[in-house]
Every structure is written in C-alpha cells, then in structure tokens.
Amino acid sequence: MKKTFIFVLALAVAAAACAKKEEETPVTPTENPFFTEWTAPFGTPPFGQIKEEHYRPAFEAGMAEQKKEVAAIISNPEPPTFANTVEALEASGELLTKVANVFFMYTANHTNDTLQKIQQEMAPLLSKHNDDIALDPELFARVKAVHDRKNKLTLTPEQARLLEKTHKDFVRAGASLDEAKKAELRKVNEELTVLSVKFGQNVLKEDNGFALVLDKPEDLAGLPADLAAAAAEAAKARGMEGKWVFTLHKPSCIPFFQYSSRRDLREKLFKAFISRGDNDNEFDNKAVAAKIAALRVVRASLLGYKTHADYILEENMAKTPAGVTKLLDQIWKPALATAKAEAGELRAMMNAEGIAGPLQPWDWWHYAEKLKKAKYDLDDETLRPYFELKAVRQGAFDVANKLWGLTFTPRTDIPVYHPEVEVFEVREADGAHVGILYSDYFPRASKRGGAWSGSIREQGVRDGKRIAPINYNVGNFTKPTAEKPSLLTFEEASTLFHEFGHALHDLLSDVTYTSLSGTNVPRDFVELGSQIMENWAGDAAVIKTYAKHYRTGEPIPDELIAKIRKAAFFNQGFITVEYMSACYLDLDWHTLVEPKEMDAVAFENASLKKIGMIPEIVVRYKSAYFQHIFSSGYSAGYYSYIWSEVLDKDAFEAFKETSLFDPETARRFRESIYAKGGSDDPMNLYKAFRGREPKVEPLLRARGFLK
C-alpha cells in the first residue's frame, strides 16, 4: 500500500492521545540534522545522526516556517496570481515535509514507544496546523480569486490542474464554511486524528501480543522442516530455546494454517489472528472503529456530502458509491458461486479423512493446500526454493531494465534506518540519475504488517532543477535462517513486484509540482502502476529469468511453470470473496448517514449477511483490525485494488497484443501513466496510453470467471 500526502497522512497516521511532554534536554539547531543540509549521497537522510529528540523541535520549526510562508502569501500587496499564490503555497512547508516524511517512515517501518509518544504529542498539533492553513479565509480568498479568473490565464495543463486541485482541496477542507462550522470541523478533525492512530497502534500491539508456543515435537505434525526451523529461531530470539514460536505475522501463521495437521492448533492460532483488536482489553478497537465512522458522518455532513463515501469518491475514478457497487456486483456473484463450489470440494476431502462436521475457516488454508497438491502436484513448499528473495527482486529490476532501460546499483555508502535495509541507485540507460530506492523486507516487532511503498522525497522541479525522488519498498517476508536465505511463495514474489511498481510510479514521475507527482493520484488509479507489474511476475517467460533454485542455480523447470499456469484459477473464489467482502464492509461503514456509534460486531455481521457471505470464509479484514480504512488512506477506497485490476489487466493486454517488452508500448505506458503522476484526469491518462477506456472482460478472464 502507498503513503499519502503529508497532511492527509498526519491526519490518518497520527497519535492515540495527547500525552504530556516530559522534560527534554534542549537541542540546538546546529545539533539537529533537520536544520542542516544533508550531505549523504544524493541528499539522503543521515539516519545515524537523527535522534528521537530531534523530531519535536523540527516539527515545531517546520510548522512555524510554513506559517510565515503562508502569512507572506496573504500579506502580499500585489493582486493574487498563479505564481504569488498557488505556486507559492505549493512551495511552502519544505522543512515540515522533510521532517514528516522521515518520521512517518519510522513510525510505520521501525517504531518504538518513544516514537509513538511523539506521535501522540504531535498529532493534534499537525491537525491544527493543517486546519489553520486550509480554513484561513484570507488565504482562500486569494486562491479563489485566481481560480475565478482561470479561463483568462495562460497556464500549462499541469498548472491548470494544480490550480483546480488547490481550489478544490480548500473547498473540500471546509474553507467555504461559516466560522461556527469551521470550529466544529476542527474538533472533528482533531478527534479523528487521535483515534486513527490509536487504532493503528492498537493493531500493532495486538500483532505482537500473541504467540503460539509449542514445546512438543508432535505439535509440529505436518509442518515443513524450514517452517519448524524458523519457529525454533523465533523461540530462541525470545529466550525460549528448545521450543517453537508461531506469531500473527503472515510469514509465520499462514504456512502454519496450510500445513499443520493439528486442527486444534490451527483453530487456536486462526482465532487469535481474526480476534486482533477484539479482545475486550486496552487495545480493543471496536469502539474506536465505530467512533471514527460516526465522526466521518459528521464531517461529511458539515462539508455538504450525504456520506463519507460520497465525499471520498468524488475525487476517485468511481465518483459515487453506486459506481463502486456496480463494479463489485459484477464480480461478486460469479466469485461467490465459485467459492461455494470450492468449499464443497474441500469439505469432501476433509470428510474423506474421517473428520466429520462442517469445513471451518481454519480448515480452508489446510485443505486448499492439500487439494492443490492432489490436483496439480503443486504446493508452496515445492516452489519456495526457486523464489529466493534477492533473485526475485533482481527479476523485478530486470523487467524494468528491459522495459525502460533502468539500472539498479547497490549503494553501501548511503545510511540506512535498520541493518536489514538495502539501498539502490536508479539510473536511466544513459546513466542519468533517476532516484534512490530502499528495500526493507523482513518482519519485526517495530514494523506494522503488510507490504507498502513510500517516499522520503517526492519528484518535482524547484528553481528549474529536477528534485530526484527517494523511495522505499517494505514487506514482511520470511526471514532468512542460519541454513537458508529468505524463500518466498509465488504470491509473495508477486507482492514484491507489486510494491516495486509503486516505486516505479514515484521514481519515473516527470512533473513540476510535487503534490501532483508519482503516486499522488486518485486512490482507485494508484494501484494500476503497481498491479501491472504482477503480470510480468507471473509470465512464464519472465519467471524462468528470475526463479532459480537457491542452491543449484537451476532455472525453475518447465513442468513447474506449467503447473503454476494450470493452477492459476485455483482457489480464486476464496481469494476474491475474502477480498471483496472487505470492500463491501468498507463501503457499508462509510455510507452511514447518521452519526451513530454502531456495535462494530453486529454491524459487520449484518454487512456480511447482506451479501451472502459463506461461513467457511472470514472477511479479509475484520473491522477491529481493518487498518486500511481506519488508520490509513483507504476509507471508502478498499475497492481500489479490484478497480485498478480492471485497468491493469486491460493495460497488460496492450503488451500481449504486441510483445511483453515492446518498446513503443512501454514508452507509452511510462509517458502516459508513470511520468504524468496526478497532472491530469486519470481516465485521460489511461486513454492516452490505451486509446480507449478499459474493459472488465480481461479481469474476469484472469480470475477464471469468464470462459
């Protein structure tokens, strides 16, 4: 998943409470690296010099500096122009952005109690700072004056887009409201800020708060030796040598669900996994989620929208909740029918083993893996030796090289924020510097779950000079052991390619204004640039170039590739239903019209019952740990992945109509999608590449729902 623009991020990923600040040793400006020019290669952050005590002074200085910049715009005696108002506002806040991008990278990738406390202290201040700018009547009057004259101005298309976006951002932030409503909106924004990060921090604590500890070898029945070895190392790291530890991090628990013959232990771990945030303890999120949803109703109403979804979707390609529902309904019916048939097959296999009763959710992964082995002679453990993490990453680099001539050179002279992080300089075919990419792929207690991409510095142009982007890719893949490197499943390999696609969107951006660069695009368009890379990850010809046995170096055999392709539609009902049920749940939370704090469990159950969810499958994200929508930027937008999949499958057809690495098609995709960022309407960008609007049929074929 991609991080959002700084102030949206500050609202969505800020603190759990306003904690009292403890006395600190004052930090002089010369000691604080945020107040000096960064001299590490390419202006990368000097991570070894940045200390926790540097953040608050830097945040305060950044906010103060931007306030002065905004005050100068307001007090300018000259009439408002695009340059002295819109461009000047776009250029403001450079220090604040610099601090926030590093800080929020840490709080997602490598946090601790002190950083979380700083989040708690800074969140309301950042919320207020944002509102002070967005709700300033004099500043908005200047922006509106320029916008009112837009048809008389000589602007480039990108300038016109920035003007339209800036004006609309003010309106959507409440700049047109009266003072009483502005005051109410400020309160709502601050409370949402506090609750959003409380939600995320609760999930992190729940992720780390449970461990399945096994102390008898017979408890490991069915588990591959590699998984048992990783569990033994996890136990040793916790001071439990001679035992085995399985956690709620996916590289640990998903293989356990797949392979453990101990149904009782699968049930125990699975129930812990789906109970995160729902344990009636200090980290319980049910009331937090309900309060967030209710406050979003209040905010939407204040801003003149029927629902929060209407407010969000106005800016997306879908435009309306009805537009989202129309797409979801086209896919849900065939997906659910397929999932029911899959459940029948798995139940029959389970019953044939002498296990009576219904198939349970903790059985699905296990019997799906067995059925895949029986049908296709294929399982994840057969494939893992061919998907060594560094080889997969190199495979992604090689695809980018063949498409656009990019090269990725390791840089050991650039500071990193954790020893597991690696750094690459990205260059064009002619050697020109493009940007910097950090990769951070292993789970740890200080990192949230999942996979995502983010920016420390976004591409733009300042004083006629290109600002080179600095990006990071993050994952939670299986850690290497003393005996073996990190070996991925094919799904994890696809995830690596996916996040790399987000990085390419940022790295290959070629616009003037950073707020329009790279992945600063509508939520249901941003996944096109990432998901299209998954198509190369799964192509038979490409797999042979990077999938090589980690011991022998032999390419993956053709018969295994044939099995992967043959099994392409396997379990697609489960995969689609698990995901899409979360899309419907998200939409239901955000089409509420009354600011009532719902019973989260009852609300969720009613939502899933309405769409006919089957009991054998659990929604991918239950409300209490649905971070995408309650502590990140995907509220009313979780459908974006399937919406973008319509785009990516249709876009990849353009390559298949020519060739996988057709230079002209690659050039059009780079210039129309990656390079343009948010500088034009996304449908215009898509049509510039494809020559027409996308069709849904390629997606239905790719998932096996259309023969």
Which are the catalytic amino acids? 499
Amino acid, single-letter form, for residue 29: P
Closest CA to 426 of 505, 494, 542: 505
Distance separating alpha carbons of residues 97 and 458, to the nearest angstrom: 10
Distance separating alpha carbons of residues 278 and 285, to the nearest angstrom: 6
Amino acid, single-letter form, for residue 201: Q
Q: What are phi and psi of 548, to 5 degrees?
A: -130, 140
Specify the residue for token string 């799964």.
538
Residues forming a β-bridge with 422:
439
| Torsion angle, alpha carbons of 105, 108, 111, 117, to 10 | 90
Residue 3 falls in which region: left (phi positive, over 0), alpha (psi -120 to 50) or beta: beta
For the packed helices 94-109 and 55-75, what is the interaxial angle rounded to 10 degrees? 150
Distance separating alpha carbons of residues 377 and 379, to the nearest angstrom: 7
Closest CA to 476 of 463, 457, 489: 489
Distance separating alpha carbons of residues 440 and 420, to the nearest angstrom: 6
Distance separating alpha carbons of residues 530 and 644, to the nearest angstrom: 9
Q: Which residues contact 247 (CB under 8 A, 6 or more apart)?
A: 207, 208, 210, 211, 212, 234, 253
Which ranges of 484-571 does DSSP label H, i.e. alpha helix?
490-507, 523-526, 528-537, 540-546, 558-566
| Torsion angle, alpha carbons of 619, 621, 625, 630, to 10 | -120
Residues forming a β-bridge with 467:
460
